[in-house]
Amino acid sequence: MDSALIPEGAKRCSFPKFTIGIAIVGAVLLWGVFAMFLCWFKGLNQTNMNDYYGFALWIWADLAVIAVGGGAFFTGLLRYIFKIDELKNIINFAVIIGFICYSSALLILAIDIGQPLRGWFIFWHANVHSMLTEVAFCLSAYFAVLTIEFIPNILENRQVNKVPFFHHLAHNMHGVMAVFAATGAFLSFFHQGSLGGVAGVMYGRPFAVREGLLIWPWTFFLFTWSAAAFGPCFTLLVTRITEAVTGKKLVKDNVIHLLAKISGWMIVTYIIAKIIDTIYWAMVTAPSLGFTLSHFYSNNGFYGYWILIAEIVVCGIVPGVLLVMKSTRENPTLRLVAIILGTIGVCLNRWVMVLQIMAVPVMSFDTWALYFPSWQEIATTILPVAYGIILIAVAYRYLPVFPQEQELNPVEPVTE
Amino acid sequence: MKQENNNAHKFGMVIDLDKCTGCGSCMVSCMSENNVPFKEDESNKKDSITWMSVYKLTNGKSFPDTEIAYLPRPCQHCGGKGDHGHSPCVSVCPAVATDYGYDTGIVSQIYTRCFGCRYCMGACPYHARYFNWWDPKWPEGMENYLSPNVSPRMRGVVEKCSFCYHRYQAARDVAYYEGRDDIEEHEYQTACTTACPSGAIVFGDLNNPAHKIHQIVKPDPHPDPRNKHVIGKSRNPKVFRLLERLGTNPKVYYLSEREWVRKQGDSYLDGEWDKIKNHHGTSSHG
Amino acid sequence: MKVDRRSFLGLGIGAAAGIAVSPVGMKLTDDSAIWTQNWPWTPVPVDGEVTYESSVCSLCPGSCGISVRKIDDRPVKIEGLAQHPVNDGGVCLHGIAGLQYLYDPARVKTPLKKNGDKFEEISWDDAIELVAGKLADLRKNGSPEKLACIADKEQGSVSGLFQRLLKTVGSPNFYTMPSLESYLEVTAAALHGEGMTIGFDLENSDFVLSFGAGIIEGWGSPVSCFKANASRKERHAKLYQIESRLSNTAANADKWIPIKPGTEADLALGICAVLLKYNLFDSMVASEFRGGLNKFAIMLQKEYTPSKTAEITGVKASDIEKIATLFAKAKMPVAVFGKGRGDGAQSLKELAAVHTLNCLVGNINKKGGAFVRQKSEYLEFPDVSMDSIADAGFAKNKTGRYVNQLIEKVNKSSKPAVDVLFVYNANPCYSLHDPKSVKQAVGKIPFVVSFSSFLDETAKEADIILPSHTFLERLEDVPSCAGLAKSVVGLTEPVIDPVFDTRHAGDAVLLIAKALEGSVAESFEWETYDECLESVAGGIWDSLSEDGYAIVSEGAPFGSASVNISFLADNPATVQARGDDKLTLIPIDNMRLISAGTAASPFAVKTVSDKVLKGQDIVVEINPLTGKGLKDRGFATLTTPTGTARVMVNFNEGMMPGVIGMVEGLGHTFDNKYVSNKGINVNDLIGPVIESGSGLDAAFGIKAKISKA
């Protein structure tokens, strides 16, 4: 039925099957959209946020999707600037994942702010001292870059590409993509960093505050580094999931191994920096403010040392080592374990840097504050996941996302 | 180093915790003065708007050695590290919806500018900032008592204590009308200060040695030798600030004869308190 | 021209591009933001001319001066009135929130008449006619004494008018709700003679020995007490607080002396014993004592030795001696009674025993001591004219001595003991012990008239409601009846025109009297209440109307007062809490709530801690040792002989083990969601215990048990 749109030489499931799949995910999407409208029309009283939890699930989701979406800028950087040519076979998909992540982040922000119709004040009345201003500018600009990076792939659709103008546009855009990749990497460096800075500059919050370089707290660099390190893990994870769902090999192993190896080394270097940062904070920064490490991990029903160990050891050192060592990296199961742990690790880090900050009491007579999101918050957080699945499904079906697909999956001649 | 502006005010407060009885007059006076709304259930204190909030402190001992004290907490109007005006909240607001008044030391909040990102709330360790999770609603007819001096806030924005800034404006207007350059101490007093039946709150200009607050607090104009970010540490051994060690430089000071109360102003490592409890600013008398 | 798909597409893209670069988008974006800044459902207060009007708050007996800020005709803020003799500028949270009472959703907006279970609106004329008709019937049947009235207090012109109406109709059955003032008078009557009252010079005393008086919990005239307490620091005055719970007063005191609840009288007698034994009392005052000082002393040395007292009260014998010595050695000591706000149940034994301490150390009518003076009679009503029906009825005995006995009589008698009940400024169906039985009694009375401004628990039981103005809408003389050292009368003045179709209760009484005609009408010669007040307040009217207050007496009264010790010399029994359980439930007075009939305002309720009220659950305080098996912040079932309640538990190290504390002033049930249906009324769990001899309901607390829910 839609065969005219499907890339030439590619095999796709039947249209009804596709439609049913989309409908199921679409139902989840609608649930999220319903919750979104509730938040917009009734206000944020629909959430379980409160004056202790001004930042909660959504801001975590925001930081997490931007972190895992970091695969786009980093892969782009490697592909176009460092000229690692093999990565051209995964760059399209990395860009799509990035596009989904960043558009989701913007959507969540639009729900999260109390006055969405005034959201543009962040640009109009910008406060240059605020990390959030930096985030907003770089995030929006980078989203524009991702859109530009995504366009050539859209233009390669079989029907669209028939239009000569689009055909040439796509071709020429590929030519100048290095410029955008460089711009994207630059912007990403700053917004990933300033998202880290959001926590690090809160000097009223001993759990968050970090010393740093000039105006940038160490979390600035740690966030950028971790996004570059764990972003590719997520790209690999989504690729693996897509392969599992389609039942096809879509990217050659050498490409996967290469990206996994780079990710592994990034994780290892990041986690060393993170450990140094944590030790310095625990031994110097926090005690100088009168706080012992145990203050942040005891006397409450949830946050214990386990979360520190889970983030740094289980979901940091372990995936790093697994991906750095050739034997484990090239073992599909262990590699999958590593990329899953890595993705969890970066999400856990963002959770800690958003929610645990809010939970820890600062005034000596204050108490721990725990929080559980409302269904509206959960639904609106799942909304981007559903949206992402649909976008990937549609893109995979109609666009030549994986250049190696046909080579790896030759279509047998149709026999009547 | 920035030169001190001699004309600038630095309005602040000192609260005598030995006089405070926890009666709640300051809280209600503030709500009434500033058109703070109320809702059916206000027992979830984490979504209850109280610009002035009174904390109950205990010495942690068991019966019959227990002691309690009350600590009223308005916005601390932090001067920020080094007292340069980069308050924890002001420095993070992406839209300049909250700002530091260098002529008054007051941290303002512009409700129509705020778009509700709540970063300031995360940055404030005092929980002095409140978000309007709901549309403010008054029972039929009750909006008749709303004061025109302070605009009611809409849903989705952050609000907080303004040190009754409108009272400062009104006092300045009167002074201007009468041809005076400046206002008198008694002309500008916050609603909580005037309401306190115990007279526990003293409000005034920390820069003005003639003001009572200056005489009680004796703020040290030099940076604390132990922490360069701290300016204005009190040289009165009975006076402390909340979380002074963080370098937020609040303009709200607290006074207590009770050591256990003073100790709760900050967190201390084991044994630290005994070493620094007798340190009260630099020895100079500038 | 051929319009194909391509040109259509082109047109669309072109149009979109055109709109995108045009100012339309920006304009709409800007407009939408401006719209959010001016949402029509967010009120914009109207500006206008600012004026200030002085008045007096009459929400509690404190009678503080207030200054009301107005914008044109709208009052927008209540503040304390500087220079006022009672409060000099300070003001409590309830007074500040006074404007919320004006627009209270539970206000009675027009006269109401009950039809079945529902109230129907009725005109003022019809309502007055109906009430007057009922009174006329009583008189016609020769039983005018079956009219009873419950008011908040005896003093003041409005109460005076009610008393006058009862008298001229022919009924002696005028009752007041228990209040600190009523206890002061009862105490003075027992020790010094009828017609006297007591004031405490807290602001000058250098040693206040408080037997549970919540000096900063709303006792007496709250703001005046707050000020006296705050000035202790500068005056180097001491406060010793004897109480089973670490109340705010106890926490603020120089010393907290925990005591077994209900044994305060015994401790006071134990201290008396020490004073007498070691000759620590003022020998000059011995001559003032009547009724057997020796007998008293002998009884004390036998029954109230330090060790015996220690056993009863839980206060160490050495501490008892120490307190006695400190009290005797202080220059200006004063012992203060009236647990909590002083308006709850009290026993005469306790009141008299504590005040005897004052008498023994000779601080009566001395600076910083206790002032014993005549009740202030500043109003001069003209003589009444009474016909034979009135004379006969008025000469009969009162149905009960105090309001709780009235209720008991009504409940016990098969024939109606009261036919018509007036309720003014009182809410007995809420604030007396065991309100269920009070409601039952009120239900048995055929015709109940409420003069309440709000549809409170008692008004709901009424047959007819003649709604009064709130204190912000009326003129009234307000005597401070709160144990102050000075006696001040303030003038409440209307700061706003009545918001609803309400009338001054004084005017309502005048209308009823006039409708009764004859000798009753003759006794009410005034056209309006305002005219009445001006004429009866004659002596102080100039001062009232010019300054807003009149000081009736100030400073220590001249001379001494004789002391009749016979009541105590007989060693009356200490009232025991009802029940057999091990724990004792005591009521807690919390400054942020109101324990009398009125509910606290939405603002005041908002300030209440979540350790007192959480959602709709009341939180009880209990020492963790006593609460073994319970969970902090968990739910429990609290059972007393009078009732059972589900409560939340708060472990509080400031509670004496064995004691459970529950706040007063919650559990209101009227139609104001901001203050009603929150927690329970502690009175539901406490039944009255009448002290033999005095007739007072003296049940401070009740035995209770608590278990995990």
Burial (CB < 10 A; 0-12, 13-18, 19+), residue C113, is middle
Q: Mean pLDDT, to the nearest integer, of C73-101?
A: 95
* CB of C102 less than 8 A from some CB of B: yes
- pLDDT confidence bin for C222, thresholds 50/70/90: very high
* CB of C216 less than 8 A from some CB of B: yes
**Which of C79, C608, C623 is nearest residue B195 as measured by Cβ atoms?**
C79
Tokens 């000071």, located at residue: B253
Q: Do B197 and C99 touch (CB under 8 A)?
A: no
How high is the pLDDT of residue B283? Answer: 52
Residues 6 or more apart whose CB falls under 8 angstroms from that of C85 comprise C65, C486, C488, C549, C551, C554
Quick check: is A4 in a domain? no
- pLDDT > 60? residue B54: yes
Chains with at least 3 CB pairs less than 8 angstroms from chain C: A, B
- pLDDT confidence bin for C346, thresholds 50/70/90: very high
Handedness of CA B242, B246, B251, B257 (dihedral sign): positive
3-state secondary structure of A328: helix
* CB of C29 less than 8 A from some CB of A: yes
- pLDDT > 70? residue C344: yes
- pLDDT > 50? residue B255: yes
Q: How far is B215 from chain C (nearest CA, A)?
A: 16
* CB of C32 less than 8 A from some CB of B: no
Cα angle vertex C64, ends B198, C231, to 5°?
25
Residue C699 burial (CB count, 10 A): 26
How high is the pLDDT of residue C2? Answer: 60
Q: How far is CA A201 from the centre of its chain?
A: 22
Q: Quote the ipTM score.
A: 0.95
* Arithmetic mean of pLDDT over chain B: 93
pLDDT digits (tens, 9 = 90+) for B79-138: 999 999 999 999 999 999 999 999 999 999 999 999 999 999 999 999 999 999 999 999
Which residues 9-68 in chain A show a CB within 8 A of chain B? 43-45, 49-55
Chains with at least 3 CB pairs less than 8 angstroms from chain A: B, C
Beta bridge partners of B54: B72
Q: Mean pLDDT, to the nearest integer, of C340-361?
A: 95
Quick check: is B6 in a domain? no
Tokens 């003296």, located at residue: C698
Domain count for chain A, please give it.
1
Using CA atoms, how far apart are residues A359 and A156, in angstroms rounded to an integer? 49
* CB of C603 less than 8 A from some CB of B: yes
Q: Do C654 and B200 touch (CB under 8 A)?
A: no
Q: Mean pLDDT, to the nearest integer, of C455-471?
A: 97
Using CA atoms, how far apart are residues A155 and A174, in angstroms rounded to an integer? 11
- pLDDT confidence bin for A171, thresholds 50/70/90: confident
Q: Between β-strands C74-80 and C289-290, what pairing exists: parallel, antiparallel or unpaired?
A: unpaired
How high is the pLDDT of residue C1? Answer: 53
Residue A98 burial (CB count, 10 A): 32
How high is the pLDDT of residue A406? Answer: 85
* Arithmetic mean of pLDDT over chain C: 94
Q: How far is B82 from chain C (nearest CA, A)?
A: 35
Quick check: is B281 in a domain? no
Closest residue of chain B to C656, computed from CA coordinates = B63
Domain that holds residue A147: 15-405
Beta bridge partners of B99: B108
Using CA atoms, how far apart are residues C29 and C401, in angstroms rounded to an integer? 74
Q: Mean pLDDT, to the nearest integer, of A254-266?
A: 94
- pLDDT > 50? residue A393: yes
- pLDDT confidence bin for C415, thresholds 50/70/90: confident
Quick check: is B4 in a domain? no
Which residues 341-380 in chain A show a CB within 8 A of chain B? 357-358, 362-366, 369
CATH number of the domain residue A373 falls in: 1.20.1630.10
How high is the pLDDT of residue B284? Answer: 44
How high is the pLDDT of residue A414? Answer: 54
How high is the pLDDT of residue A170? Answer: 87
**How many residue contacts between A and C have a Cβ separation below 8 Å?**
12
Q: Do B243 and A362 touch (CB under 8 A)?
A: yes
Q: Which comes out higher in pLDDT, residue C169 or A409?
A: C169
Which residues 100-139 in chain B show a CB within 8 A of chain A? 113-127, 129-135
| DSSP H or E stretch at residue C103 | none
Q: Between β-strands C447-450 and C464-465, what pairing exists: parallel, antiparallel or unpaired?
A: parallel
- Cβ proximity of C124 and C480 under 8 Å: no
Q: Between β-strands B201-205 and B11-16, what pairing exists: parallel, antiparallel or unpaired?
A: antiparallel
Q: Do B113 and A125 touch (CB under 8 A)?
A: yes
Q: Provide, rounded to the nearest whole percent, the portion of chain A with pLDDT above 70.
A: 99
Q: Do C32 and A117 touch (CB under 8 A)?
A: yes
CATH number of the domain residue B38 falls in: 3.30.70.20
Q: Do B243 and A201 touch (CB under 8 A)?
A: no
Token output for A133: 């201003």
- pLDDT confidence bin for C40, thresholds 50/70/90: very high
Please name the amino acid found at residue B107. V
Q: Mean pLDDT, to the nearest integer, of C546-551?
A: 93
Using CA atoms, how far apart are residues C536 and C523, in angstroms rounded to an integer? 13
pLDDT digits (tens, 9 = 90+) for B235-247: 999 999 999 999 9
Contacts of C656 in chain B (CB under 8 A): 63-64
- pLDDT confidence bin for C655, thresholds 50/70/90: very high
| C-alpha radius of gyration, chain C, whole number | 29
- pLDDT > 60? residue A189: yes
Domain that holds residue B85: 11-276
pLDDT digits (tens, 9 = 90+) for A64-111: 999 999 888 888 888 888 888 889 899 999 999 999 999 999 999 999
Q: Mean pLDDT, to the nearest integer, of A275-295?
A: 96
pLDDT digits (tens, 9 = 90+) for A5-64: 888 888 888 899 999 999 999 999 999 999 999 999 999 999 999 999 999 999 999 999
Q: How far is CA C492 from the centre of its chain?
A: 18
Domain count for chain B, please give it.
1
**Which of B50, B68, B138 is nearest residue C654 as measured by Cβ atoms?**
B68
Burial (CB < 10 A; 0-12, 13-18, 19+), residue C284, is exposed
Q: How far is B277 from chain A (nearest CA, A)?
A: 13
Contacts of B139 in chain C (CB under 8 A): 103-105, 672, 674
Listed residue (C314, C420, C428, C483) closest to C688, CA to CA: C428
Q: Mean pLDDT, to the nearest integer, of C528-554?
A: 93
- pLDDT confidence bin for A416, thresholds 50/70/90: very low
Q: How far is CA B190 from the centre of its chain?
A: 11
- pLDDT > 60? residue C516: yes
How high is the pLDDT of residue B260? Answer: 96
Note the pTM of the prediction, 2 decimals. 0.94
Q: Write down how long chain C is.
A: 709
